[in-house]
């Protein structure tokens, strides 16, 4: 049996984490000493969303949000007012499929482009595509398909994206419920892809005339470029070994022949034939990790210079400490355990506030009661 690497320490003000409910939000400090209203540790921004999947902090200081039903919107982080920009009619949202990852062009003022990933039906087949929209006059238009016909399914669609400093778009894809695709170099499923912003293949990709940057992935739902240059990915395992990986050009991460670290005979035989990159951290039993990001602010000192991981099944945020060169995770700390339900995504404001998107209390909950919550501090 695989053994989890678990180092859990709770950061508590007393014996439990303090959560300020919405009912506390209008409470004033009326003492004679004239103290101002204290800043809440957490606050619900909006709670009428339908499976928010991606939230990002925009250059306009608004939250930009995808909902799995196909809606893209801007949300005022102070008032919770939602402004719909577009609903993509082609989106097919079944189980885990739908409108998923999103990113804005790094120079959005000059290049007002929004990139997104969604699944759609082609006959009886589910497929996935990467698209670009142009933002003008508070709306999105001019859909341009950059990459199409990626295998998709009701499960395991990956779909996290980011744009690097050299203007390459990285995209995670899942195995689409077909485990053989992850090792198939003729398929874009179960891979990390690297794409020019016009949808063409970069000439310096590791495999000639291929979008594939790395292979052997099951369902990577988190992808972030760290200031140290490493790309970190969070990936769902099957019955064991949810993973944190460092993604490197041209490397194989083993799925389905290797789950997590190489620790049984069949995995050793496969690894003798193929160089496999093991995870730098794993969890058994599985926790269902989703988004991963790097907190480079000091507003919440407990999280400064750490990777932040949102967790679905175990319903928590995990702060991961890296060693000096970023090659290992030396500690994990659990925050807001079981307080907000399934936590899908995370966004960081310029001033260091943190926003999380929640997806209900149970798998498959598609009610319009999912929330975005602001975190100002740890109490």
**Mean pLDDT, 10 residues at a time, over the chain (379 residues)?**
39 34 34 57 96 98 98 98 98 97 98 98 97 97 98 98 98 98 98 98 98 98 98 97 98 97 93 95 97 97 98 98 98 97 98 97 87 95
Q: Read off the tokens for 362.
A: 């149970």
**CA–CA dist 320, 329 (Å, integer):** 6
Burial class (CB in 10 A: 0-12, 13-18, 19+), 53: buried
Helix, strand, coil shares of the chain as percentages rounded to 5? 5, 40, 55
List the one residue out of 335, 342, 337, 334 whose CA is nearest residue 371. 342
**CA–CA dist 223, 290 (Å, integer):** 9
List the one residue out of 375, 359, 378 whose CA is nearest residue 51. 359
- pLDDT at residue number 1: 45
- pLDDT at residue number 293: 98
Give CA angle at 162 (157, 166), nearest 5°. 140
- pLDDT at residue number 56: 98
Give CA angle at 221 (217, 223), nearest 5°. 90
Q: For residue 89, how many other CB atoms are within 10 A of its CB?
A: 7
Q: Read off the tokens for 135.
A: 């933002």
- pLDDT at residue number 36: 60
List the one residue out of 370, 314, 364 whose CA is nearest residue 154. 364
**CA–CA dist 313, 308 (Å, integer):** 16
Q: For residue 260, how many other CB atoms are within 10 A of its CB?
A: 25
- pLDDT at residue number 12: 35
Backbone angles phi, psi at 273, to 5 degrees: -95, -30
Backbone angles phi, psi at 340, to 5 degrees: -120, 5
Residue appearing with tokens 């991981």 = 309
The edge-to-edge listing of strands for the beta sheet with 354-358 is 42-49, 370-375, 354-358, 343-348
Helical H segments across the chain, by residue range = 265-273
Domain boundaries 8-22+40-375, corresponding CATH code: 2.120.10.30
- pLDDT at residue number 37: 59
Q: For residue 102, how many other CB atoms are within 10 A of its CB?
A: 23
Q: For residue 329, how many other CB atoms are within 10 A of its CB?
A: 20
- pLDDT at residue number 30: 36
- pLDDT at residue number 35: 52
- pLDDT at residue number 369: 80
């Amino acid at each position: 049996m695989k053994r989890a690497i678990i180092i859990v320490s709770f950061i508590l003000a007393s014996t439990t984490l303090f959560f300020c409910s919405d009912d506390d939000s209008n409470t004033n400090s009326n003492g004679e000493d004239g103290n101002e209203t204290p800043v809440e540790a957490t606050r619900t921004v909006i709670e009428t969303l339908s499976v928010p999947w991606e939230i990002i902090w925009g250059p306009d200081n608004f939250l930009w949000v995808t909902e799995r039903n196909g809606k893209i919107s801007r949300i005022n982080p102070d008032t919770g007012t939602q402004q719909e920009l577009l609903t993509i009619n082609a989106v097919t949202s079944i189980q885990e499929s739908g409108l998923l990852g999103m990113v804005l062009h790094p120079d959005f003022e000059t290049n007002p482009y929004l990139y997104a990933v969604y699944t759609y039906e082609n006959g009886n087949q589910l497929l996935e595509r990467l698209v670009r929209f142009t933002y003008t006059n508070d709306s999105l238009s001019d859909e341009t398909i950059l990459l199409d016909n990626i295998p998709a399914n009701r499960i395991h669609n990956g779909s996290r994206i980011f744009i690097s400093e050299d203007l390459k778009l990285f995209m995670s894809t899942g195995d689409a419920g077909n485990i053989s695709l992850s090792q198939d170099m003729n398929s874009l499923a179960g891979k990390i892809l690297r794409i020019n912003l016009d949808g063409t293949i970069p000439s310096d990709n590791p495999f000639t005339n291929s979008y594939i940057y790395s292979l052997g992935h099951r369902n990577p739902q988190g992808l972030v470029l760290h200031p140290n240059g490493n790309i970190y990915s969070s990936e769902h395992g099957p019955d064991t070994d949810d993973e944190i990986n460092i993604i490197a050009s041209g490397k194989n991460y083993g799925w389905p022949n290797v789950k997590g670290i190489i620790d049984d005979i069949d995995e050793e035989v496969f690894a003798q034939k193929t160089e496999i990159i093991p995870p730098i951290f794993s969890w058994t039993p599985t926790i269902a990790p989703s988004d991963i990001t790097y907190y480079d602010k000091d507003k919440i000192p407990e999280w400064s210079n750490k990777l932040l991981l949102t967790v679905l099944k175990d319903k928590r945020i995990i702060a991961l400490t890296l060693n000096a060169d970023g090659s290992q995770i030396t500690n994990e700390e659990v925050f807001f355990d079981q307080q907000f339900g399934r936590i899908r995504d995370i966004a960081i404001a310029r001033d260091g506030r943190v926003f999380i998107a929640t997806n209900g209390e149970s798998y498959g909950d598609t009610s319009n009661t999912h929330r975005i919550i602001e975190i100002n501090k740890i109490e």
